């Protein structure tokens, strides 16, 4: 544990006084309890790289079947009061550390799923623990402000030193929310209000009596016949507006009323990319042409196009930077907004802080939504006209959460301190090369390997995907799937080459079984 305290002190010296109190008071239990790494001696990786978590386990430990007897008992108890049918594993977070996730039965797994891509810098990260025990955090938690009406006095400072310090190029404002679905819905509302504001002649033009009266009856013009164009296999959330743009799986949508909004085809590329360059270019052009047709002919004209840089839940579907540049040009040509959904791809996972940085756009997106690894949520924008022309139009009680914004600031500082975006890019290249070797050795197991040059945002199609995911736990690995047949990798930004070696070795054991 001494190394953990040293790591924490190096991370944020100004905050060390927040843990200099008796362990029976406010110091988090994770700072003085025994981690699951106790049974695993600290080892210097053969790669020679300096571990980000020096006292992390040297490797996985599989002590029982998963779930084991203690986990089964806990699941049975939980199932009486909570739906456990989607449960992956019962976790002991106080014993999880760094890249390793622990359960109640002394199983410790290398985690390449990271809570559905949402843990950025490791379990019980010392720097985040310090931020979590600061007086600033305590105030934000116990006095949670209704930010629209009663923002705390230092809210601007929290935003400027955190969320806005990593704003995408050209976007210098933010509207904060609570979840990824919420972030997208807020962006959609901004798009609709902006479009109608344009149609009326500007922000200064008052609503007509027809606007006001018809809106209360869910009729036009107050409830206009506008839409958001999304893409087949895309995922943007599970609230009503975001769900209407989600097209990944029927289970998300069945029985839920939906808006009649258009969906364009997303390119289905062939792999290896270098062998199908002409076919893939033609596929992307086809999708762009169909997108333009929908923009210009759909009965409810789109106010915006929303797209993921990589379709994550829908199967890890990729497209080239050229496709996204073409999409941006279409939105400019037809005067509609371009929303990039970076809920899963943002905050360093692709080897860039924002995945759309890979595209080299000539003009930035109009809005970029974020959540997951940010721990906070919302959307970035640059055009002040995307603020509604009157108060209370984009509004709810919380309008975000200062506690989560403070945590995101600590995450940003940790990413910068350890240079984790560049590290993820390098580790991703190493991991992809290892998977490419396995794909050649076991061609029946790894199909359509994709994600080269995209950090650790890597996936492949497996003919026995669910079996592979289940067997992964038996060799000490927690990994997830996407779409119908993809195995997707979503490790944390602290995932390093020696972790990749452990994963690749475990994966080969599965393929041999």
Q: At residue 155, does pLDDT exceed 50?
A: yes
What is the reported pLDDT for 513? 87
Please indicate whether residue 117 or residue 7 has the higher confidence score (pLDDT).
Answer: 117
Which tokens hold the place of 339?
């929303």
Q: Are 404 and 382 in contact (CB under 8 A)?
A: no
What is the reported pLDDT for 45? 64
Q: Are 347 and 411 in contact (CB under 8 A)?
A: yes
Is the pTM higher than 0.85? The answer reads yes
Q: What is the pLDDT of residues 364-421, one digit of tens each?
A: 999 999 999 999 999 999 999 999 999 999 999 999 999 999 999 999 999 999 999 9
Q: What is the pLDDT of residues 336-359, one digit of tens each?
A: 999 999 999 999 999 999 999 999
Q: What is the pLDDT of residues 169-196, one digit of tens each?
A: 999 999 999 999 999 999 999 999 999 9
User: Which of the residues 397, 416, 440, 470 is marked catalytic?
Assistant: 397
User: Which of the residues 235, 324, 370, 379 is marked catalytic?
Assistant: 235
Residue with token string 């209407």: 244
Q: What is the pLDDT of residues 208-238, one digit of tens each?
A: 999 999 999 999 999 999 999 999 999 999 9
Q: How many CB atoms lie within 10 A of CB 482?
A: 26
**Contacts for 30 with CB less than 8 Å, ≥ 6 apart:** 94, 124, 129
Q: What is the mean pLDDT of residues 19-42?
A: 39
Q: What is the pLDDT of residues 452-505, one digit of tens each?
A: 999 999 999 999 999 999 999 999 999 999 999 999 999 999 999 999 999 999
CA 138, CA 145: separation in Å to the nearest integer?
A: 12
Which tokens hold the place of 27?
């110091």
Return the closest-CA partner of residue 380 out of 364, 362, 396, 393.
Answer: 364
Q: What is the pLDDT of residues 57-102, one digit of tens each?
A: 999 999 999 999 999 999 999 999 999 999 999 999 999 999 999 9
Q: What is the pLDDT of residues 384-393, one digit of tens each?
A: 999 999 999 9
Domains of the chain: 132-417 (3.40.640.10)
User: Which of the residues 195, 352, 372, 497 is marked catalytic?
Assistant: 372
At 30, the pLDDT band (50, 70, 90 cuts) reads very low
Q: Are 210 and 222 in contact (CB under 8 A)?
A: yes
253 has catalytic annotation: no
Please indicate whether residue 314 or residue 30 has the higher confidence score (pLDDT).
Answer: 314
176 has catalytic annotation: no
Q: Give, rounded to a whole angstrom, the gap between the first and last alpha carbons of the chain.
A: 38
Q: At residue 39, does pLDDT exceed 60?
A: no
Q: Are 358 and 176 in contact (CB under 8 A)?
A: no
What is the reported pLDDT for 420? 98
What is the reported pLDDT for 469? 97
User: Which of the residues 341, 366, 401, 461 is marked catalytic?
Assistant: 341
Q: What is the mean pLDDT of the chain?
A: 92
In the three-class reduction of DSSP (H, G, I as helix; E, B as strand; rest coil), residue 444 is classed as coil
Continuous segment of H or E residues that includes residue 420: helix 420-441
Q: For residue 96, is it left (φ>0), alpha (ψ between -120 and 50) or beta?
A: beta
Q: At residue 13, does pLDDT exceed 80?
A: no
**Contacts for 413 with CB less than 8 Å, ≥ 6 apart:** 11, 12, 127
CA 357, CA 241: separation in Å to the nearest integer?
A: 27
CA 35, CA 67: separation in Å to the nearest integer?
A: 20
83 has catalytic annotation: no
What is the reported pLDDT for 496? 98
CA 224, CA 218: separation in Å to the nearest integer?
A: 9
Q: At residue 247, does pLDDT exceed 90?
A: yes
List residues bridging with 109 in a β-sheet: 101
Q: At residue 293, does pLDDT exceed 60?
A: yes
84 has catalytic annotation: no
**Contacts for 208 with CB less than 8 Å, ≥ 6 apart:** 221
CA atoms within 13 A on the CB side of 3: 11
Using the Cα atoms of residue 134, residue 98, residue 455 and residue 481 in order, give the sign of their dihedral: negative
In the three-class reduction of DSSP (H, G, I as helix; E, B as strand; rest coil), residue 39 is classed as helix
Return the closest-CA partner of residue 414 out of 55, 127, 50, 19.
Answer: 127
């Amino acid at each position: 544990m001494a190394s953990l305290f040293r790591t924490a002190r190096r991370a944020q010296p100004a905050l060390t006084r927040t843990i200099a109190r008796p362990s029976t008071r406010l110091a988090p239990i994770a700072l003085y309890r025994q981690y699951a790494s106790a049974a695993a001696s600290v080892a210097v990786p053969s790669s020679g790289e300096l571990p980000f978590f020096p006292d992390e386990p040297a490797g996985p430990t599989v002590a029982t079947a998963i779930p084991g007897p203690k986990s089964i008992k806990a699941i049975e108890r939980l199932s009486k009061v909570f739906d456990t049918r989607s449960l992956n594993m019962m976790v002991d977070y106080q014993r999880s550390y760094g890249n390793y996730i622990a359960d109640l039965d002394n199983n410790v797994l290398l985690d390449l799923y990271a809570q559905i891509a949402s843990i950025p810098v490791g379990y019980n990260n010392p720097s985040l623990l310090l931020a979590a025990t600061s007086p600033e955090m305590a105030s934000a938690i116990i006095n949670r402000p209704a930010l629209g009406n009663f923002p705390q006095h230092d809210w601007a400072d929290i935003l400027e030193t955190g969320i806005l310090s990593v704003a995408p190029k050209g976007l210098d404002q933010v509207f904060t929310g609570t979840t990824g679905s919420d972030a997208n819905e807020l962006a959609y509302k901004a798009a609709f209000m902006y479009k109608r504001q344009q149609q009326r002649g500007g922000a200064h033009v008052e609503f007509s009596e027809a606007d006001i009266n018809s809106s209360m009856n869910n009729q036009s013009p107050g409830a206009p016949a506008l839409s958001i164009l999304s893409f087949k296999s895309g995922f943007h959330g599970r609230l009503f507006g975001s769900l209407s743009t989600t097209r990944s799986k029927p289970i998300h949508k069945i029985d839920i009323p939906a808006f009649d909004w258009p969906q364009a085809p997303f390119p289905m590329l062939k792999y290896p990319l270098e062998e199908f360059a002409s076919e893939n270019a033609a596929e992307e052009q086809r999708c762009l042409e169909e997108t333009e047709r929908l923009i210009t002919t759909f009965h409810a004209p789109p106010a915006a196009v929303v797209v993921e840089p990589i379709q994550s839940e829908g199967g890890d579907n990729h497209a080239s930077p050229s496709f996204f540049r073409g999409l941006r040009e279409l939105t400019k040509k037809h005067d509609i907004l371009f929303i990039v959904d970076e809920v899963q791809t943002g905050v360093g996972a692709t080897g860039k802080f924002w995945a759309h940085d890979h595209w080299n756009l000539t003009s930035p997106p109009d809005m970029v939504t974020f959540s997951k690894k940010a721990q906070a949520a919302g959307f970035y924008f640059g055009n002040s006209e995307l603020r509604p022309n009157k108060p209370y139009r984009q509004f709810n009680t919380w309008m975000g959460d200062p506690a989560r914004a403070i945590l995101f600031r600590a995450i940003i500082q940790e990413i910068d301190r350890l240079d984790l975006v560049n590290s993820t890019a390098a580790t991703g290249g190493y991991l992809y090369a290892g998977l490419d070797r396995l794909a050649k050795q076991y061609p029946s197991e790894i199909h359509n390997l994709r994600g080269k040059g995209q950090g650790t945002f890597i996936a492949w199609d497996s003919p026995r995907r669910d079996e592979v995911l289940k067997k992964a736990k038996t060799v000490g690995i927690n990994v997830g799937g996407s779409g119908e047949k993809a195995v997707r990798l979503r490790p944390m930004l602290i995932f390093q080459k020696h972790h990749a070696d452990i994963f690749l070795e475990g994966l080969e054991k599965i393929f041999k079984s």
